[in-house]
Structure 1
Amino acid sequence: MSAPGDSVMPVPCPHLPDIGVDSHPASRLAAYRDGERGADFYRQALHCGQSRWLEKLPAQALLMLNRAMGASLCHRRDATVLADHPIPYQAVGWILRRDDGGGFLGNPRRHYQHLATRMSGWDIERRTARAWACWVLAKHVNPAWEADHVQIAREGIVEPAFETVHAAVVAHGLPGEHLEWQAALKM
């Protein structure tokens, strides 16, 4: 027997591309595993995020937005996709603020803490700045979400101040990216 509201389709995230009735499973990102993770990868990750949101999987939607934030969008040709779909801080904030009786969200503050402190691979400074920016956003949306105090104590992590995160987003983000993040904080 289904719970009340299970058949109700969630409202699409207005900060992500419209996907209509199409499903965009995360497996679509596998096509980019060994290739360039530029504008096409970014767009597909945003589509996957919207798809996960519409399937009432908010935690998985956030994971897809993490993937989008890891795209390499430094070329002039990427300006078009960014004009249509800026770095998805506002989508993250919108999802964090929803309580639609949907699926598992978990503790986004803890998630972004882990993401920021365990970053590896390419473009670490930019991706770490974005993870800490989302961590600030999660703290702002719901101060009751707790940090992972065990990790903090065990690894000697110092949670960054707002000013530190802001400076990192300005220094390592794309031009104007900090404005998108600030808009998400004001939603």
Structure 2
Amino acid sequence: MDWRDLEAARGRSLSDYFAACLGYGQLLWTSGLAARALLAVDRGLLCPISADDLARLGMPLPYASVAWLVAHTPPAVFIGNPRVHYQHLADRVRGAAAERKRWRAWACWRLVRIVRPEFPSDPSHRVTEPLDHEIDIGLREHGISGEAECWARVRGEIPESIQNARTCPP
């Protein structure tokens, strides 16, 4: 599987594309390519899939996948700085469904802040970072049915062992 398979799936249906993005992310992860895996999962997260399509697939939006990938990337494997990635994505997204994409990016940004608090923000990028309740409101207003609840559940289920396993640099 490679990027050409994603393009082929996109031509079939959003459900196929969504599932292909997550499958490709898993393949990249098992190949030791954490940063690329995260980008593949992002492609699925940002596609305009409906709650009905997710129900037919039996899959939730990949908030748990994002948190897991970031939390479990070994120190020697490159993942970049997902906090900055989502901060920039949230502030710079344009085009169709920009608000939905913006709030999904902020939701992922918050998950990264929980599982890997040592990642610094981009000090040269001036942006107001939202609070959890603002992200919740954004997902309720611009996301799909049940999305805010899905994100809150993932956020609430992140084990304390992950939250406390990392320390901020001095």
TM range (shorter): 0.7 to 0.9
**% identity of equivalent residues:** 34
Shift of 1:141: 1.1
Provide TM-score, normalisation by structure 1.
0.76
Contact 1:39 1:72 in 2 (8 A): no
> Aligned AA for 2:4?
S
Question: Are residues 1:64 and 2:34 paired?
Answer: no
Structure 1 residue ranges, 4+ long, deviating more than 6 angstroms after superposition: none
Residue-by-residue CA offset, 1:48-105 (whole Å, 9 max, x unaligned): 1111111111111110111001222237455312xx2100000111111114355211
Contact 1:45 1:65 in 2 (8 A): yes
Pairing 1:1-187 to 2, within 5 Å after superposition? 24-31=1-8, 35=11, 38-74=14-50, 76-81=52-57, 84-100=58-74, 103-152=77-126, 157-185=127-155, 186-187=157-158
Q: Whose helix proportion is higher, 1 or 2?
A: 2
Contact 1:109 1:135 in 2 (8 A): yes
Residue-by-residue CA offset, 1:131-185 (whole Å, 9 max, x unaligned): 0000011111122111111011xxxx21112211111112211111122212322
CA distance 1:143–1:76, change in 2 (3 Å): closer
- Between 1:62-71 and 1:92-101, the stretch displaced more is 92-101
Secondary structure of 2:72 counterpart:
coil
> Aligned AA for 2:33?
L
Contact 1:39 1:71 in 2 (8 A): no
Which runs of 5 or more residues in structure 2 are unaligned? 159-170
Contact 1:56 1:102 in 2 (8 A): no
Contact 2:54 2:60 in 1 (8 A): no
Provide TM-score, normalisation by structure 2.
0.83
- Let me know the Cα RMSD of the aligned residues: 1.9
Contact 2:89 2:105 in 1 (8 A): yes
Which runs of 5 or more residues in structure 1 are unaligned? 1-23
Contact 2:9 2:20 in 1 (8 A): no
Contact 1:38 1:78 in 2 (8 A): no
